[in-house]
């Protein structure tokens, strides 16, 4: 069960061209494309005529044409033309979903379109600032989206999983402060006089120990932004990890991934090495997420046992449950 009245990252804008792409979001097959005028469109990926996926079709101008018998739909999902006949049955239409490009992602609204307010897209302003160099990537991860969120909300895993990359070995000496603000879950850990992970030492030219601050923000449905600040007496650097996580199915997740830095150069070799390093870090997480899902899939009946480091992830899960109950209550009222 997924929250529907939320914005989910659905694509990178560069993926949206006149060539339709099919993607499953929250269990629903969606087709997305960009029309000749530049409008981005998301529709149900199923022709109402005879089941052909519209993602196999062709975008021509402002319409998409089904590959099978050539029926055409406009960006609102209304049928624009049926070959060989003049009349269009009322039911010959597909559902359209609000789709908005912002901050380097295309965001889809899976619920009631009347409630789709683009101001509720998470405010990731740093993507518009010249102070930050960002790059984007996508991972398809065979694990439930809440397991993927847990990974980012409990960074106490970094000295273990990321020992060879960004982990700080003595992180456990410093408490994690966690609080909520409306539907947001926030956390902060301040660490002083700690050994930086190998990548961090290289990025900041840190020769010895450093101070560091980690700030994390979670917003529903599952958008996580982590700010990592590192400094010694001569230098400081900040890295931002922006991860909108989008459920594909109950056991698979689209991980959208952007790393933004206020350090380093734009030289091709620097960028290439930095992107390679970021991949190594994410790969370390993805391997474990897949293993966790395999344990969930074998139907292990034992409950999990919470520890102090779980505070933020448990708060996020509670918020999702509350919002799900609210969505259900609204839906019940609408059908009463």
Taking CA atoms, 88 is separated from 44, 72, 80, 82, 191, in Å, by: 19, 11, 8, 7, 65
Which among Fe ion, ligand FES, none contacts residue 49 (Cβ within 5 to 8 A by kind)? ligand FES
Q: Based on CB atoms, which residue is closest to Fe ion, 40 or 216?
A: 216
Rounded to 5°, the CA angle 144-149-155 comes to 135
Could you tell me the end-to-end alpha-carbon distance of the chain, in angstroms, rounded to an integer? 21
Q: Pick one of ligand FES, Fe ion, none as the site partner of residue 71 (Cβ within 5 to 8 A by kind).
A: ligand FES
Residue 66 touching ligand FES (CB under 6 A): yes
Cβ neighbors of 198 (< 8 A, separation 6 or more) are 164, 165, 166
Nearer to ligand FES, 85 or 335 (CB): 85
Q: What is the DSSP letter of 45?
A: S
Among 21, 29, 52, 161, binds ligand FES (CB under 6 A): 52
241 near 217, Cβ under 8 Å?
A: no
Is the preceding omega at residue 265 within 30 degrees of 0, hence cis? no
Q: Which of 30, 47, 64, 171 binds ligand FES (CB under 6 A)?
A: 47
Taking CB under 5 A as the rule, does residue 154 contact Fe ion? Answer: no
Rg of the chain over CA atoms, in angstroms?
22
Closer to Fe ion by Cβ: residue 71 or 149: 149
69 binds ligand FES, rule: CB under 6 A: yes
Based on CB atoms, which residue is closest to ligand FES, 50 or 318?
Answer: 50
Q: Tell me how far, at minimum, the Cβ of 95 lies from Fe ion, in Å.
A: 36
Partner interacting with residue 66 (select from ligand FES, Fe ion, none; CB below 5-8 Å by kind):
ligand FES
Residues 323, 220: contact at Cβ < 8 Å?
yes
Residue 157 CB, nearest approach to Fe ion (Å): 6
Partner from Fe ion, ligand FES, none contacting 322, C-beta within 5 to 8 A by type: none
- Tell me if 109 sits within 8 A of 98, measured CB to CB: yes
Distance of alpha carbon 165 from alpha carbon 158, whole angstroms: 9
The answer to whether the CB of 223 falls within 8 A of the CB of 10 is no
Strands 7-11 vs 105-109: parallel, antiparallel or unpaired: antiparallel
Residues 250-309 that bind Fe ion (CB under 5 A): 285
Residue of the chain from 12, 15, 29, 49 that contacts ligand FES (CB under 6 A): 49
Q: Quick check: 316 binds ligand FES (CB under 6 A)?
A: no
- Closest CB to ligand FES among 88 and 191? 88
Residue 60 touching ligand FES (CB under 6 A): no
Helix, strand, or coil here: 142? Answer: coil
What's the token pair of residue 80? 């624009």
Name the one range near ligand FES by CB under 6 A: 68-76, 102-110, 208-216, 293-301. 68-76
**Judged by CB under 6 A, does residue 68 bind ligand FES?**
yes
d(CA 142, CA 261): 28
Q: Does 94 bind ligand FES (CB under 6 A)?
A: no
Residues that bind Fe ion (CB under 5 A): 285
Residues that bind ligand FES (CB under 6 A): 47, 49-50, 52, 66, 68-69, 71
């Amino acid at each position: 069960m997924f929250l529907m009245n939320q914005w989910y990252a659905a694509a990178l804008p560069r993926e949206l061209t006149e060539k339709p792409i099919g993607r499953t979001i929250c269990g629903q097959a969606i087709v997305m494309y960009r029309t000749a005028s530049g409008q981005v469109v998301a529709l149900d990926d199923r022709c109402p005529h005879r089941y052909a996926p519209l993602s196999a079709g062709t975008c021509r101008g402002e319409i998409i044409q089904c590959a099978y018998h050539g029926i055409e739909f406009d960006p609102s999902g209304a049928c624009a033309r049926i070959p060989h006949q003049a009349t269009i049955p009322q039911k010959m239409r597909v559902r359209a979903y609000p789709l908005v490009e912002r901050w380097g992602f295309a965001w889809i609204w899976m619920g009631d379109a009347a409630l789709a307010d683009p101001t509720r897209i998470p405010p990731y302003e740093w993507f518009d600032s010249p102070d930050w160099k960002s790059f984007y990537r996508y991972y398809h991860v065979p694990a439930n989206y809440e397991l993927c969120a847990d990974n980012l909300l409990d960074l106490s895993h970094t000295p273990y999983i990321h020992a060879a990359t960004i982990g700080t070995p003595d992180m456990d000496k410093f408490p994690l402060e966690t609080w909520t603000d409306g539907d947001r879950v926030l956390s902060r850990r301040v660490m002083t006089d700690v050994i930086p992970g190998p990548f961090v030492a290289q990025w900041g030219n840190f020769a010895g120990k450093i101070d560091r601050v980690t700030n994390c923000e979670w917003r529903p449905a599952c958008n996580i932004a982590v700010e990592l600040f590192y400094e010694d007496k001569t230098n400081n650097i900040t890295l931002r990890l922006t991860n909108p996580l989008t459920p594909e199915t109950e056991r698979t997740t689209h991980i959208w991934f952007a790393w933004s830095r206020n350090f380093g150069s734009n030289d091709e070799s620097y960028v290439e090495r930095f992107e390679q390093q970021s991949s190594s870090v994410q790969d370390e997480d993805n391997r474990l997420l897949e293993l966790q899902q395999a344990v969930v899939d074998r139907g292990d009946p034992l409950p999990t046992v919470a520890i102090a480091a779980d505070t933020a992830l448990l708060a996020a899960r509670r918020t999702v449950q509350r919002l799900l109950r609210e969505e259900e209550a609204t839906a019940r009222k609408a059908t009463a």
